[in-house]
Structure 1
Amino acid sequence: MSSARRRSGWLEPTAKGAHVSSGERKQVIKPPAVRPGDVIGIVAPASDIKPERLAAGARELERLGFRVKFSPSIFAREMYLAGSDRRRAEELMAMFGDPEVKAVFAARGGYGSVRLLPYLDEEALRAHPKIFMGYSDITTLLVYFQQRFQWVVFHGPMVTREFADGPEHYDEELLRRTLMRAEPIGEIDTAGVAVLSPGIATGRLTGGCLPLLVSTLGTPYEFDATDAILFLEDYASKPYQVDRMLTQLRDAGKFRAVRGLVFGEMTECLQHPNQDYTIVDVIQDRLADLNVPILFGVRSGHSDYRNQVLPFGVRATLDGYRAKLIIEEAATSKP
């Protein structure tokens, strides 16, 4: 990929229609936006999938104006995985290398993305920046693409989950604004979001599913939270498990240089229905002394209603007085 030099603006053109952000942070590569009629490649990097769920998700993507493409081998299964590690890695590589495919969406999470990493050809991938979207176990790949290639990646709906369930399960307007327009995204809908700690901070938005981020510690793929607006979410972890993971991140120094924290809805993160404390109490107990703004309840990841896509790698502002999250720049470049 050709290098880019800083000019008067924030963005610099680079190869294959992508753009590079300059400044105090590392260069960031923004994939080209998608347009109606573009092909979305569907991959299963983790757990196995059901054909009927994939068909339903594909129909919804077609309703949005896209065409879809997936490998016949996507329905493979080995124990709890969508086929062998090599099959899943080759499927992912093929979608990024296919010139017809303009974006790559994960079919689902589950488990297994981390097992692909040794099989990926970094140089081949680096040459083809594209929109890549998913959450949950896909966090592993979001971190990998961000930190190995400085790509902007997308924490958002998956094909056999939200897309298969229909338009009420994801925020269609935000999806179009984020993936199809190479312009600043602005405020996302934060109705119902709570302020746990006030303040205002601007930084690089990043993060993902809490257990998956913790699992990177001590590995070659460890996530970087320096100068970040760090987004954390999870599903069905017990409060003491969330406490343990937040404590581990503290002990690993991951909160020392964060500028702000944003939590997802933390759906079903409770011990039992009659417990006399909430997951918010746990978060405040572990993090209140950080003296950074903290929001709780953004609908991205494991959320049952209007799942929101969040672009990781772009500049964002967390307003801990008005409970607002503002994406300050475009997440894509012009195709």
Structure 2
Amino acid sequence: MPPSLSCCQTRLRPGSRVAIVSPSFGAPGLFPHVHELAMQRLEHELQLIPVEYPTTRQIGATPRERAADLNAAFADTSIQAIMATIGGDDQITVLPFLDSEVISRNPKPFFGYSDNTNLLNYLWNLGMSSYHGGSTMVHLARPGGLHPLSTSSLRAALFGGGDFELHPVDVFNEDELDWSDATFSDPNAVHVPPLVQPSTGFYWHQPNRVISGPSWGGNLEILDWNLSASRWIRTDVTDYAGCVLLLETSEEMPSARYVFRTLRNAGERGLLAQFPAVVVARPKSSNGVVQPPLEQRIQYRQEQREAILKAFAHYNPDAMIVFDVDFGHTDPQWILPYGGVITVNGPQRRIVAHFG
């Protein structure tokens, strides 16, 4: 069974101090104007006090230095929550330098996704729940202002929102934002919302049960790295039994073949069989280099869905799976408990996050 998890019910209040850290890429050092906009909105719109650490704006900080910031943020009793500025690609090298005893003695909610799946999973193994989503530079510095959907779930996670139901969105955006200084120096640019495309809603596969359980998972590529390095993945796969699996892919747009092979490897390990319900994020099918036409984007998402269904058909044919839930690399983004309880109600086509 999953470890006994704590901390998802921590509630902040206006004036609470929040640690702002860059456990992966020090993007605030490269795009200070974007970071500063995010900090302004955190303080003025959410009424929280941001507290930056030495490597928050540092490009090229070592894994040990970034870990030191995390250790300090957890140890500081005046800090009520920790938020990552953005993801990256090397957080797996940071975790060996974390002080698990300090962190375990000072549980507090952590917010992040993408490469931060490393830390979400690390905390899960310490018995601490946290939150998937909410990177400051992506969601708080969003052109056009805070998205009401993303912000409603972020508020629920921060301030205690009880049972929070997710619903399909009407439109979404997946094209990457221009973070150039010239764009953000235009006072009107930060007020222009991103372009959107219609959403087709959730896609349900075998919606025949009601499953409630602690969530686990995150970014598929990062989980793949953790499996490859044999780090922070439990040897006894039954420790994951009954969990709701969260899956999402990044702006690197992994192929359907990669997605299938990664899940196949997890299936061979006996991992896929442990999850009675799976919630899959809408995959990002565009990035800063490739902006395919709409029909190719639709095809990419369909091929990824088919790859996931193929893997589960072999390793867990009874799993209930919901696709195109907006908690991944697209905008808006639902903030979800990681280790906290999520209910997937197939007959009623409902997904409820329990924020305590």
| Band the TM-score falls in, shorter-chain normalisation | 0.7 to 0.9
Q: In structure 1, what is the equivalent of residue 309 of structure 2?
A: 284
Write out aligned runs for 1:154-233 (5 A): 154-165=131-142, 166-168=145-147, 171-181=150-160, 184-191=162-169, 192-200=201-209, 201-217=211-227, 219-222=230-233, 225-233=240-248
**Which residue among 23, 37, 45 is the counterpart of 2:15?**
37
**Which residue among 320, 324, 327 is the counterpart of 1:293?**
320
| CA-CA distance at 1:329 after TM superposition | 5.7
Q: Is 1:303 the equivalent of 2:330?
A: yes
2:276–2:318 contact (8 Å) kept in structure 1: no
**Which residue among 103, 108, 111 is the counterpart of 1:133?**
111
CA distance 1:48–1:73, change in 2 (3 Å): closer
1:197–1:288 contact (8 Å) kept in structure 2: no
Which digits, 9 at most, give the CA deviation of each residue in 1:216-256, with x for residues without a partner?
12513116532111010002111111112121111121111
Root mean square deviation, CA, Å:
2.3
Q: TM-score, normalised by structure 2?
A: 0.78
Q: In structure 1, what is the equivalent of residue 260 of structure 2?
A: 243
Once residues 354 and 59 of structure 2 are traced to their aligned partners in structure 1, the CA distance between those partners, rounded to angstroms, is 41
Once residues 102 and 285 of structure 1 are traced to their aligned partners in structure 2, the CA distance between those partners, rounded to angstroms, is 42
Once residues 256 and 3 of structure 2 are traced to their aligned partners in structure 1, the CA distance between those partners, rounded to angstroms, is 35
AA paired with 2:219?
C
Count of aligned pairs between the two proteins: 300
| CA-CA distance at 1:279 after TM superposition | 2.1
| CA-CA distance at 1:164 after TM superposition | 1.2
Which digits, 9 at most, give the CA deviation of each residue in 1:256-310, with x for residues without a partner?
1211111000111899755595322222222235212110011112122x21110
1:301–1:307 contact (8 Å) kept in structure 2: yes
Once residues 168 and 312 of structure 2 are traced to their aligned partners in structure 1, the CA distance between those partners, rounded to angstroms, is 21
**Which residue among 275, 280, 292 is the counterpart of 1:258?**
275
| CA-CA distance at 1:72 after TM superposition | 4.2
Q: In structure 2, what is the equivalent of residue 16 of structure 1?
A: none
3-state SS of 2:351 partner: strand
Higher fraction of helix: 2
